[in-house]
Amino acid sequence: MGSNNDTMQRQARLFRMLMHPARIAILEALRYDEACVCHLEAQLQARQAYLSQQLAVLRKAGLISDRRDGLNIFYRIAQPEVLTVLDAARGVIGADRAPPPPPAGCSCPKCIPVDRFIPDPIALV
């Protein structure tokens, strides 16, 4: 029962990781594309410090990974199989998956492409 017990322990750790609604919301927000913290902050209506804490937990668990691009750090799902787990849970409770709302007030490069960026003329002086 050794390896079977190890498997069950690892499954239990995964389910504990997914027990937090904010972590599920982050994974759902990252379902289709990577995002930076400011993007997640606008989309999930949560404080940056709180999201960073939850992102660190997900990263430590190996469920997400990150990459730096200038001043921004972009997060993405590293284990896409976790989405199958989330979909199965949604099916068990009889809930539909709703697409995440577009973030309002996000000023990240993803939401405001560089070619649409209009610099502040005062700052250029």
The CATH code that applies to domain 2-95+102-116 is: 1.10.10.10
Task: Check the CA dihedral 97-57-74-122 and report its sign.
Answer: positive
3-state SS, residue 108: coil
Q: Confirm whether pTM is higher than 0.85.
A: no
Q: What is the DSSP letter of 19?
A: T
Give Cβ neighbours of residue 25 (< 8 Å, ≥ 6 apart): 44
Q: What is the dihedral of CA 44, 49, 51, 56, to 10 degrees?
A: 170
- Distance from C-alpha of 82 to C-alpha of 6, rounded to nearest angstrom: 19
- Distance from C-alpha of 110 to C-alpha of 56, rounded to nearest angstrom: 21
- Tens of pLDDT, residues 15-72: 998 999 999 999 999 999 999 999 999 999 999 999 999 999 999 999 999 999 988 8
- Bridge partners, residue 73, by sequence: 68
Label the pairing between strands 35-36 and 64-69. Answer: unpaired
Among candidate residues 54, 50, 44, the one with its CA nearest the CA of residue 100: 44
- Average pLDDT (87-102) is 81
- Tens of pLDDT, residues 60-84: 999 999 999 988 899 999 999 999 9
- Distance from C-alpha of 7 to C-alpha of 104, rounded to nearest angstrom: 42
